[in-house]
Structures are given as structure tokens and as C-alpha cells.
A and B are shown apart, each in its own frame.
Chain A
Amino acid sequence: MNVIRAIQMYIDKMISDAGPGMKLLMMDRETISIVSMAFAQSEMLQKEVFLFERLDSVRSNEKLKYLKCIVFVRPTKDNIFLLQQELQSPKFGSYYIYFSNIIPRTDIKILAESDEGESVQDFKEIYADYLPVNPNLFSLHIPTCLQALNWNPEALERSTQGLVSVLLSFKFRPAIRYRSGSTAAQTLAKKVHETINKETALFSFRPPEDGAAPPLLLILDRRDDPITPLLNQWTYQAMVHELLTINKQRVDLSGVSGVPKDLKEVVLSTEQDEFYANNLYANFGEIATTIKVLMDEFQRKANDQRKIESIADMKNFVETYPQFRKMSGTVTKHLVLISELSVQVGQQQLFEVSELEQEIACRADHSTQLQRVKRLVSEGKISAANALRLVLLYAMRYERHANCDTSGLLKLLQDRGGRSYIAPRMLEYISTVARQELFNTVKITDAVKLTRNLIKELKGVENVYAQHECVLKGTLEEVIKGRPLDAQYPIMGNEVPFRRPPAEVIVFIVGGATYEEALAVHRYNQEGYRIVLGGTTIHNSESFLEEVLAATVGVPFKHSRSLQQFHQAPAGTA
């Protein structure tokens, strides 16, 4: 189960079906990202795809009849209309049309009627309708999916299509479970279930042999775990996303000083960059060591350059040139990234912040933690964004605590210009489940957890910056171990639930997944499980806060009445 591979195979098939000859690939806003995340442009050139165009942008009327045009677009009304126009006055010799999802028959008819030049050679649906981020992680790139804590209809439509296409690209007809209590998860589960039942022809896969459990599609809600996206991360990919933001595999470094010109924007792809693929989940310390090794190797090769004495040597060197250049590119790129990360870590005092974040997330110790948060927020050494996150974590953790002093902290935050209006919104955003379960670690029912914590403390924490475990990890544990799920994760439809744990799991988080969760999934996959994670988007703390704000527009303040003075955003912001 590798989402990148799935997309690559679709694109390969699409291109090879068009046969030999010069080709142009016509895409739309979304499919162009899908293709670019699966293949580099140079790889496409070798597949004889020489030109790339957007169907939805202004295009020249120049006709090149000797080109084959591969159209790969989403089945939206706009695209159908544009394609209809294109077919009425075809600019290219032949058209191979691939829709990235299920297309209504009426639309096929419209297009067939427009094809007066008989230029369409192929017409298919292929289900590459999601962005493959890592082999085990996909995104739908919906930055905000909720409005007033319920689905934004467009986002719901897109999410349903995305999930259906994931299922079809793996040929799964899954059992669908959703987080009970989350209406968003339930609605999406219902929609996907309906689509599966409607498209019976498509989903008529052979059931798994000898009564094995069908794959599981598990739909969760970000509102149940608002902690994970707020924490500072220390693994490479997560860190880059948190501090520099990865947008569809691209990191914008133009704001960073001292960056070479050709590295203003770098691409981080597990497919094209081996170093990245190998160190995606390595933590900050390990990366530095690895990069040192890489540097030494590079140095060794660079030294070779000086040792060139004869023409034969020179030839040898040139013959190894492609690898050489590739490697040097990789080294510089990651060096720039790592050095920028370490600058940020120093500037923002991230070690101190992160330690306290982890403390709040994992241990209940109100008075000490309040003191530390107060000190950090008021001192002004840490950035306002980090201060906000600390306050948010505190506010969520000690919402019901007798001596809770969120308003005091918020005042401090406001004084130094922090966005204190986010706190009440956040308290409205988190779900009832999160409120009840997230921090009640010291319940009697959780005796196991309690002893585990005790043992942990006795042993000493291995890494204070990575104590927190995301909720997803526990959830997956239950799924994998085959524990009864029906109470917390009811099954959609009237299928008989299987006792045995499923062989494949697709987890989808409404409201966005994080790279920390991708790491949890990766660890399970290393043990041999087959899990893929997806989300409406991939969050870092900043994008998550935006999602929270968007989701809580117009929501009455129920839980944060006491924080009334902070309800209104200062004029000119938000």
C-alpha cells in the first residue's frame, strides 16, 4: 500500500496508453499538483511528455496537430465546459481523456457530442484524485473543511471523492468506521458508503479469501485531538513543515538569508531525493550526523576532482558526473534546510518551549506548569506564536481546573501583542470527546496508563521532546490488536462487523492530519502492518490555527464564557 506508487502507476498507464510520439499533458489546478508530486518534470520528458498546460488557464490558439494531447482533469463542471470548447476546435491531433474520478454519464454525452473532429481516442476514469505526500500519507489539500463546526459542502464533496478514489486505486471495498460523536466523521462515512453502494459495478472486487476481514476505512476527527498539531516537532519532515512550511512537497526558502539562488524553492520528494526518503522520520540530532556523513562522502568525491592528473582520470570523473551532481545538489539542499532549522531552534528557544509543551501535554502539574508558562510568556524571549501555543495547551488542559488562570495568561499574551482571541475559539473547537478523554490521564480506569507513566518516570524519559503520543497511535493500537471497536468507532451500514483485525487500514482525519501522525503510522508499517493515513490537509500549528478560526466562525461561545473579554479579535486582524 503505497499511495505514491498507486498514482505513479496510473500516470504511467495513462501515458503509455497514448502510444509513442510527442505528447502534451493537459491538467487542471489540482491534477497538476497530483502529477508533480508523483513525477519530476525530467522524468516526464523521458516519457515523451514535452509540454504541460492547464486546461483552466488562458491558452494560445496555436495548433500543433502532430501532438498527442493527454487530458487529465477532475470531473468538475468547469472542466467539462472547457473541454467541450477544446474539442469543438481541437488544437491537437488526438485527445486521450482521463478523468480523475467518477464522471456522470450526461457529461460524457456532452463531450461526445462536441467531438466533431473525431479527435478523441480514449476516454477513461482513473482514480488518481488525491495528493500523494509520503508513501503512507495522502492529502486532499483542503485548507479549511468546516464551517460552524460542520462540513463545508464543497469540502465534503471533495473529501468523499478523494476517499472513493483512494479506495478504488487500492481496489478496496472496505468496512467503514467513524469516530462516534463526531458528526463530520459520520457524515463523510455516510457519503462514502452511499457512493460505494451506488457504484456497485466499480466496487465489485472479489471479497478477501477465507473470511479475512475486509480493509478498514477509519474516519476520525481533528477536533478529538487538537493537541498534536500544536506541539513542536523534532523529526525532519515535521520540523521542516512546522518551521518552514511544506506546500505540496515544495519549501519556499526565499525569505531565508544567505540561500543560494537555485535553492530559493526546494523540492522535498521521497521519490527523487533518497536522502530525504531515508531521513524523513529521523530526529533533528540524527539528521545532523547523517548529513555529516553525506558531506564527507561528497568531500571525498570533490577531492577526487583535484587529484585528476591524466585524461583518463578526467574521463572517469565526467562519466560519474550525473551521480556526482545529483549528490552535490542533495547535500547542499539539506545542508541549507538543516542550518535554517537550527537557526530557528536557537532563535525561538524551541528546546525550552518544546519541553514545556510536552510537559503540559503529558503530565498534570498545574502550579509548576502555570508558573513556567507565565514566565515564558511574559519574558518575551520566545515568539508570540509559541507563547500562544503554550497558552492554548494550558487552557485546554486545565479548563476545568479550580485554579485555572487562562484569562491571566491571555492578558499577558495580549500585552505582548499575541493573538489571544484564538483561545476561546480553540475551546469551542475541541470536541466533547477530547474534553472528556484527552487529559484525564489520572483516572482510576486508566490504571495501566498510570503505572506505565510511573515506570517511565522511574526509568527517566528517553527524550523529553518526544514524550507526547498522538491519539491516533492509541486508536491504531486498538484496531491492530483486534479490540472491540463498536462503541467508539461504530461501523457504517448494516455490515456484520468482523472479529478479526483488518489486514489493511486507511485512516482519514477530517480537519487535517499531521506529520507526527504519519510517523506513528510509519512505525506500525515498519512492524509489517499496512496502514495509510490521509487528511483533508497536512497541518502545522499555523495552518491548524487557521482551520480552527475558520471552523468556529459564528459558533456561539459555550465553553469559554468566562473568557468574554477575549472573544473579539482586535480590529484589523482575523
Chain B
Amino acid sequence: MDNPFDMHDKESASGAFLLPTDGEILEGFLCPICKRDLRTPERLTVHVEHEHSEEQDLLKSLKEIFSIARQGILSKGKKKPSQPGGTDGSEPSAPRLGSESGVAIGSAGTANNPLLQPGCNQTIGCSCEHMAYFKAVRSPRLERYAAETNKLIIRLDKLLDGLPTEPDQKKRHEQSKVPWIDGKLVKLCPTCAKSFGITRRQHHCRVCGSVMCESCSRYLTLEEAGRLVNPTAISPASAVPLQAQSDAQPVNETSHFRVCEHCMRLLLIRMEMQDWKRERPLVRQYYETLRRERTDIEPHIGMYRRILDSLYDGDVIYRLSDASTLREKIGRSAEKLDNVSKSLQTLRSAVGSREDALKKAIRLGCISYIKEQMLSIPPLPVEEEIKKVQLRKRQETERRLERERQLALEAFERLELQSGGGSVDSSLHDRQNGSSSSSSTASTAEMTNGRYGAAVSTMDNWTGTQTGPTSNATSDPLIDQINIVKGYIRQARAALRFEEVATLERNLSELTQEFYYRQRSEPVDTKPIPEAQ
């Protein structure tokens, strides 16, 4: 295998962690022949298969590496069944009785209660959709109304354009813009069906030109008309309840348009829609803040519980400081929720009104959310306790590894004995190797325990002394990968993205394990060959 790291490439310099041995280093899934970064093992394999099909042995070795890595991951999954998330049952019960017993009672109760057990496979019942038909009926009507309303608004625009202030002139102007119906043809008021006479005079709707009596007339202020014609121009502050004005009989004809009931209704609907679009009441703004805060913090609460579980489990993925920063954040968020909902409640509104009730309900909902979701989170664990758990776990792992190694050694020795004498050397060598592996697990534990920065050089030194040819060690893409992952972890932790921290940590420990596995196996694999020669 030729060394792919002899060549320099400018593209690859981004974010590389330098090994102490030599200059520039490439990272990622690099093709050993053309030095391209393929990013994933699959793509790399495919690439080699297609581009460099002549170098069969290379391809083979590549595939081997990946299969080894995969095995490592798989066996790791088996060895550690208690990864965060699946730890509910097996956690040590002692330290958490206080907060958890209530929950435990709850879940046990539900599990035991035969009444509550169905529903797991019960699906939601039938429903029948009518919106399509509803729309089919609604849309032609809406379209017709929209067209009519638009016509009215165009007329309003014409009326407003150069409107004289003198009543007589105004009337003439109005009549010139909208053709009025001939009053002689209409004997009865079309709205109230009463006959016209001296006491009940005829009036004309200024926008559609139809006839009605005085009591059936409605009035649209010029201001409102202006707003309808040009909705963006007028500030919402000038919005006055329309209904109140049109009910009161205006004395002064000049500031209003007389309209019929039908037109008034159409214009009212349009005006309401315009208002609604413009309106952004404070209640809503506050509520949106609340909602955002809640959706932001919700994943953190879940994460906090998971971190605690993992800590109590003795895992080393998270640190206690992680939990405490997260807890602080949740506390701050609870405070903010409380404050916002409080200030929402102090907004002015009439007592007993719908808005008042709404604000109270929001505040109530907020309080119960804070109480039940945010304040009920379990307290931080004590540091010594965690350390104890971790220590115990580490010791357990070490014991197990020791045992496994012992077994393997015994098996190997048996094999050696069977194959005949003269293998003292190799068995001795093997023992040496074994001891180094135990130290390696110790350092793995240490490393994953949190001392990242310094770990690389010691690792490198160690490998350097073990295996003679340095080129092999320094060019190991695994080390690069390990360094990259560590950098990511640091960044993710700073950003409180613990989901990612967990995945990266898992990734990292897989990588380190694979790394040591390979370090250990190489001498065994390579050395017998020169001996045979």
C-alpha cells in the first residue's frame, strides 16, 4: 500500500487536526490512489471498484477495514445494551426514590389496570369529510359577492375622487358617477315593503343607485370609504366601530354616503376582512412568544431527563456540568414563561369579557405547564455519587475485559499446545500484547471521560513505540477522524446540542475502539510473516 499522505492538497487543509509528525494531512474517506475525499465508506468502496478496478488487493483491504469497523460497532452494541433511552428499568433505584416513586406508582397503576390497557391497538374511528362539498357550494357565492363588492369599491373610488363638500354639489357629483334608478318606478321600499309618500320619502343608495326609505338607509363615512378604497393608507388607530355610527342617524349629509342595506353588508364584510389582516393584537404577540419558548424548551426537558438517566447509569457520554447547564436553561425558560404570561395577564381588557377569560386561561395553562413539566424535573445528582457509579462501571468493564482476555489467552494457549512446541515466543509476545491492551482500555476510558485535547499525542507515542514503521501510524485516517469528531463534540457541547453530543460520543468511542483493535492486531498479523521468511 503506498502512502497517500505524501502528496499535498490545498483543498484538504480545511479544519485538519495536525499530527505531530509531519506537515499537511488529508482527512475523510480518501481514495488511496487518487486522493479524493469520498465522504462515506460506501462511496469510497464504489469509487475504488469503478475507477481502480485493477488494484484488486487494495479494494479487498478497504472492504476489510470497513467490515472490521462494522463488527466493532455491532459488538459494541451488544456489549452495551444499556444505552441512554433504554435504561428505564435497569437504573439503580437508590438515589432517586424521592422524585421517581410517584411516577413509578403511576405507571405501575396503569399497567395493572385492565381497564386502561386497551387502546394501544385501537385506531381512531371513522370520520366523514364534507369540506369539498362545502367549498363547492361556497365558492360560487363568494365569487359573486367578491365581484359585486369590487364593483362597489370601484364606484366608491370614483365617488371619492374630487368629491365636493357642498351638499348640493355633492349630490350632483354622486348622481353623475352612479346612475340612479328612476324613483317613479318604485312604489314600495324594497327592504321594508312600505309605500312611499310625503312622510316616507325616497332615497337613493349612492353606490348601487337603488331606492329605499329613510329608515332602511345605512351610512358609510367618508373615512371608511377611503379605507375601503385604499386599505394600506390609513392607520388602524382611526378605525372606529362601524356599526355604532351607521345606527345613529347622521344629521350632516356631507360626511357620509347613504347606502342600502345590501351594499352596506357587503362592504362591512370586506372591511372586517381587511381589519383582520392588519390587526396584530398584543395578546396574540405575547402568546406567540409563549408558544415559541415552549416549543424551544420542550426537547431540552426530555434531554435533561435522558442525561440524568445516562449519568445514573454510569455512562460517560455526558458530564454533570452538561446537566447543570441544561437545568439552568430550563429554569430560565420557566421564569421567562412565567413573566410573559404575567405581563399578558396585565394587558387591559374589560372585566368579564371573552378576552379577559382568555388571558386568565392562558395564564392558568402556563402555570400548570411550568409546575408539571418544568419544576417537576428531577434534581441534579451529586457529583460524588456519579463518580462512584462511573467508577463501579469502569471497574466492571475492566474486570469483564480481563476475564475475556484471560479466556482468549487460555484458548490461544490451548491452540498453541495443540499445534506443537516452539511457540513460546509467540505466546509470550501475546501476553505482552495483552497487557498493552489492558492499558489501552484504561486510556480509552480516561479519554472518553473527558480529557480530549492531550489524548492524541500519547496515543501516537504509544503506537509509535509499539509498531516500528511510523508511516503506518501517522497516516492512519482513523486518528484524523477521531480528532475531527472531538472537535465536533466540543462545538456541539458549547451549543447545548446534546443530541449530537451523544451520537458523536458514541461515534468517537467506536472509532477509538476500532483504532486500538487495529493497533493490537497488527503486530500479530504482520510479525509472523517476517518470522516465517
> What residues make up the interface of A, taking CB atoms closer than 8 Å to B?
1-2, 5-6, 9-10, 13, 20-22, 24, 42, 45-46, 48, 50-51, 60, 62, 64-67, 93, 102-103, 105, 108-109, 111-113, 115-118, 120, 122-128, 134-136, 168-171, 202, 270, 274, 277-278, 280, 312, 315-316, 318-324, 327, 522, 525-526
Contact = CB atoms under 8 A, between A and B. Distances in A.
Contacts of B109: 274, 277-278
A528 to B, nearest CB: 10
Interface stretch (B154-162, B194-202, B355-363): B355-363
Contacts of A48: 365
Nearest to B136: A112
A469 to B, nearest CB: 21
A103 B109 CA distance: 41
Nearest to B119: A5
Interface stretch (B21-29, B281-289, B426-434): B281-289
B130 interface: yes
B122 A22 contact: no
B372 interface: yes
A104 B512 CA distance: 69
Measured as residues with beta carbon below 8 angstroms from the partner, the interface class of chain B is 35 or more
A529 to B, nearest CB: 12
B102 interface: yes
Given A127-B127, A274-B109, A1 B122 contact: yes
Interface in B341-397: 353-355, 357-358, 361-362, 364-365, 368-369, 371-372, 375-379
A124 B131 contact: yes
7 contacts: A10-B127, A50-B361, A62-B355, A66-B284, A125-B128, A125-B130, A319-B378
A9 B124 contact: yes
Interface string B134-151: 111110011001000000
A171 B113 contact: no
Contacts of B102: 320, 323-324, 327
Given A45-B365, A50-B362, A113-B137, 11 more contacts: A6-B124, A9-B125, A10-B124, A65-B275, A112-B133, A112-B137, A124-B130, A170-B125, A278-B112, A322-B375, A327-B102
A120 B353 CA distance: 24
B126 interface: yes
Contacts of A125: 127-128, 130
B99 A321 contact: no
Contacts of A102: 128
Contacts of A120: 134, 138
B130 A103 contact: yes
A274 B110 contact: yes
A45 B362 CA distance: 7
B116 A270 contact: yes
B234 interface: no
A46 B126 contact: no
Contact of B103 (A50, A51, A323): A323
Given A124-B130, A270-B116, A116 B358 contact: no
Nearest to A101: B128
B119 A2 contact: yes
A525 B103 CA distance: 27
B379 A316 contact: yes
A319 B281 CA distance: 36
Contacts of A62: 353-355
Contact of A2 (B118, B128, B291, B371): B118
Contacts of A525: 114
Contacts, number: 179
Contacts of B136: 112
Contacts of A2: 115, 118-119, 122
Nearest to A102: B128
Contacts of A278: 109, 112-113
Contact of B130 (A108, A117, A312): A108
A55 to B, nearest CB: 14
B521 to A, nearest CB: 50
Contacts of A115: 134, 138
A51 B127 contact: no
A169 B125 CA distance: 4
A322 B371 contact: yes
B115 A270 contact: yes
Nearest to B277: A65
B131 A123 contact: yes
A322 B376 contact: yes
Interface in B264-299: 269, 272-273, 275-276, 279, 281, 283-284, 287, 291
Q: Which 6 A-B pairs have the closest CB atoms?
A: A323-B102, A169-B125, A45-B365, A112-B137, A50-B361, A5-B119
A2 B133 CA distance: 32
Given A108-B134, A116-B142, A126 B127 contact: yes
A515 to B, nearest CB: 13
Given A319-B377, A321-B375, A66 B115 contact: no
Contact of B273 (A13, A117, A312): A117
B459 to A, nearest CB: 41
A109 B133 CA distance: 8
A21 B292 CA distance: 11
Contacts of B81: none
B272 to A, nearest CB: 7
Contacts of A66: 279, 281, 283-284
B379 A315 contact: yes
B379 A319 contact: yes
A51 B371 CA distance: 21
Contacts of A24: 358
Nearest to B129: A124
A67 B358 contact: yes
B138 A118 contact: yes
Given A113-B138, A135-B115, A64 B354 contact: yes
Given A108-B130, A277-B113, A60 B354 contact: yes
A120 B139 CA distance: 12
Contact of B125 (A42, A116, A127, A312): A127
Nearest to A275: B109
A10 to B, nearest CB: 6
A77 B330 CA distance: 51
A206 to B, nearest CB: 13
A87 to B, nearest CB: 10
Nearest to A325: B371
B135 to A, nearest CB: 8
Contacts of B376: 319-323
B118 A1 contact: yes
Nearest to A4: B119
A2 to B, nearest CB: 5
